[in-house]
Chains A and B, each alone.
Chain A
Amino acid sequence: MAEDLVSTLADLKEKEALKIVEDRLSAGEEPLGILNDARKALEIVGKRFADSEYFIPDLVYSGEILKVITDMVKPKLTKEAELKRVGKVVMGTVAGDIHDIGKDIVVFMLDVNGFEVYDLGVDVPAQKFVERIKESGAPIVGLSGFLTLAFDSMKQTIEAIKAAGLRDKVKVMIGGGQITEEIRKYTGADAYGKDAMAGVSLAKKWAGAE
């Protein structure tokens, strides 16, 4: 039974997956177990994405199905899920840039790989990154940007982190459509990720998870 939901959801069979959830709920099963299975399925989706077996639409669709399942399960939930997290990451698209597709993929992949992600959204001012790093104590920061103007915003964000005395407490990775090693040097970031999987590898390395 449990195996069913994991594989059905991982194979993106929405109707079948929802039917299984419904059946298990009406059989009086503990909702937390259902959520754990759904989570396992999304880990598989993440792995398939990393192996180029799945593409962006598959990630988006799996996230959408998970949302429906969560909505079904939530009213019956008695205790909060406790997830073992491997590390914390502060993520956002830098000031002046409102593109979110790339950032959302990295957030998704970090999440299914066990990271607690503080997603600050898009057009995030440098100071907001600084505040969230302080509050959360996250040792990893991800800066996303699609436009060429993001190069300067990334640089300014990293300078603001430095000015706040936090630069040696965090590792900073950058990513986005036009990001290269030259831009990494220009911005003063520790590393850049060519794609979402590279971002996950960097975060794992920095969190000592591998």
Chain B
Amino acid sequence: MEKKWEEMSSDKKQEAMFEKWLSPPGIEFASPEAEKSYKQRVTRIKDAIQLKKLPDRVPIFLMVGFFPAFYAGITPEEAMYDYEKLYMAWKKFTLDFEPDAHIGSFAVPGKLFEILDYKLYAWPGHGVSPEHTYQCLEKEYVMADEYDALIQDPSNFFRSVYLPRIFGALDAFKMLPPLTDILEMPFTPLNLLSYGLPDVQAAYKALLEAGSEALKWIGYIGKLNTELTAAGFPNVIGGATKAPFDVISDTLRGSKGIMLDMYRQPDKLLQALEAITPLMIKMGVSGTKITGIPIVFIPLHKGADGFLSDEQFKTFYWPTLRKLLMGLIDEGCTPFCYAEGGYNTRLEIIKDLPKGKTIWAFDQTDMAKAKEILGDTACIGGNMPSALLSVGTPQEVKDYDKKLIDTAGKDGGYMMVNGAVIDEAKPENVHAMIDFTKEYGVYK
């Protein structure tokens, strides 16, 4: 009988999570070869992460936005509104390019956001053209004087203050009292009154409809995942979460708001970062429990070189990011930090992590330096430039690929990944990146 989960060490938990990923329940592989390929691919990624055993070769996968849509000849708008087309395009992408893993799909159901009158993003047909990708509309959705409300009860703040601001259809949620007010028989009816109001009921109706749309969409995404797994291609993203600083800067206070808060109300900001950290850990862990895939995707934004001074990074960004990473590691998960921009000035700081437990994919970081500093600590990856994949030649891509494998890929602990999510790129360049890595990245 295996030990109880809570009593297991994080090493044991990590092994158990990889074990689960290696043998996905309910999957009937298309052939014995497909099963073999699947296990080889998962093992390759696992070995690169753990820094214990040299993998058979450098693992390769792509962080794609709408590249599969462009490749299959459909627009981002079609991918977001026609789930059948989405499924076909994304499946075609993985089967045609044969990377070691895929990342599911960042193409989300457009109709869901229409139903809820979403304000936080512009998406094809709603603020950007059908050929363009969705983009976040950064604004001050949470005001400078609302930190206390957020810190005291984040969930209630989200439901009654934040969600009504980012979803037009949920405006009436402003009228809802905290759920914790529903106490004792005599107090209950008064606290349920607002649920009877026509506006609140209309908001709930919109939410139910949006939920149905999400279910419709996940049917296709689920089919995509199952079929790709059966064909031997693991999904590498088991869950997702965000660095607490990015949560507040990207979509609550805005970059400008949080930058001013660092000067004008640093203590409130620090308290808020602490308050949401456990929630972000839970968010990442819960994804991996549902999918059975141990890797938690964490896109990193506002901690990049230049965005914060060293001192600010050490004070405001890193402490809660580290807590988030440690919280995930304690549950056996493997955080996958996708550090956009440059991280050159942060390498010494982020080194303070247990060995073989994280993936750091970089965008514009000096990879030789990253290898030198983080090589004994973490699996690194990334740095293949989007620009090169878009306008370069296959030979240029191969040359860059070779340079990466020779420096960052030396002695394992490296994954070939593009440095920033790609939408438009030349298919022949993507082929060159994948095929060359498979050929040249073999460890002897």
Contact = CB atoms under 8 A, between A and B. Distances in A.
Interface of A: 12, 14, 54-58, 60-61, 64, 96-101, 123, 147-149, 151-152, 177-180, 182-183, 185-186, 195
Contacts of A182: 387-388, 391-392, 396
B391 A186 contact: yes
B387 A179 contact: yes
A64 B257 CA distance: 10
A55 B260 contact: no
A183 B129 contact: no
B390 A55 contact: no
Contacts of A186: 390-391
Contact of B423 (A57, A64, A98, A148): A148
A100 B139 CA distance: 11
Listed residue (A64, A147, A152) with the most chain B CB atoms within 10 angstroms of its CB: A147
17 contacts: A54-B309, A55-B308, A57-B308, A61-B259, A96-B128, A98-B122, A98-B135, A98-B137, A148-B425, A149-B424, A151-B424, A177-B341, A177-B364, A178-B385, A178-B387, A186-B391, A195-B306
Given A177-B340, A182-B388, A60 B260 contact: yes
Given A98-B122, A147-B135, A151-B390, A177 B309 contact: no
A60 B264 CA distance: 13
Contacts of A149: 131-133, 423-424
Given A177-B341, A186-B391, 12 more contacts: A12-B263, A14-B263, A57-B259, A57-B308, A60-B259, A61-B260, A64-B256, A98-B135, A98-B137, A99-B135, A147-B133, A148-B423
B312 interface: yes
A59 to B, nearest CB: 9
Contact of B263 (A54, A61, A147): A61
Contacts of B425: 148
Contacts of B306: 55-56, 195
B420 interface: yes
Contacts of A60: 255-256, 259-260
A185 B388 CA distance: 12
B407 interface: no
Contacts of A56: 259, 306-308
Nearest to A56: B307
Contacts of B129: 96
Contacts of A195: 306
A191 to B, nearest CB: 15
A101 B340 CA distance: 14
Interface string B316-338: 00000000000000000000000
Contacts of A147: 133, 135, 423
A97 B391 CA distance: 18
Interface string B407-436: 000000000000010111100000000000
A50 B435 CA distance: 42
A180 B256 contact: no
B386 interface: yes
B175 interface: no
Listed residue (A12, A183, A195) with the most chain B CB atoms within 10 angstroms of its CB: A183
Interface string B99-138: 0000000000000000000000010000111011101011
B150 to A, nearest CB: 20
B262 interface: yes
A58 B127 CA distance: 31
A66 to B, nearest CB: 13
A64 B259 CA distance: 10
Nearest to B340: A177
Nearest to B423: A148
Interface in B173-226: none
Contacts of B263: 12, 14, 57, 61
B340 A98 contact: no
Contacts of B137: 98
B420 A64 contact: no
6 smallest A-B Cβ distances: which pairs? A57-B259, A180-B387, A186-B391, A96-B132, A60-B259, A55-B309
A195 B128 CA distance: 27
A129 to B, nearest CB: 17
A199 B435 CA distance: 38
Contacts of A178: 385-387, 420
Contacts of B256: 60, 64
Contacts of A99: 135
Interface string B371-399: 00000000000000111101110001000
Given A57-B262, A99-B135, A182-B387, A152 B424 contact: yes
Contacts of A54: 309
A148 B308 CA distance: 24
B391 A183 contact: yes
B369 to A, nearest CB: 17
Contacts of B423: 147-149
Contacts of B255: 60, 101
Contacts of A183: 387, 390-391
Interface string B300-319: 00000011110010000000
Contacts of B308: 55-57
Nearest to B256: A60
Nearest to A123: B128
Contacts of A100: 138
Contacts of A58: 309
A99 B138 CA distance: 9
Contacts of B387: 148, 151, 178-180, 182-183
A177 B391 contact: no
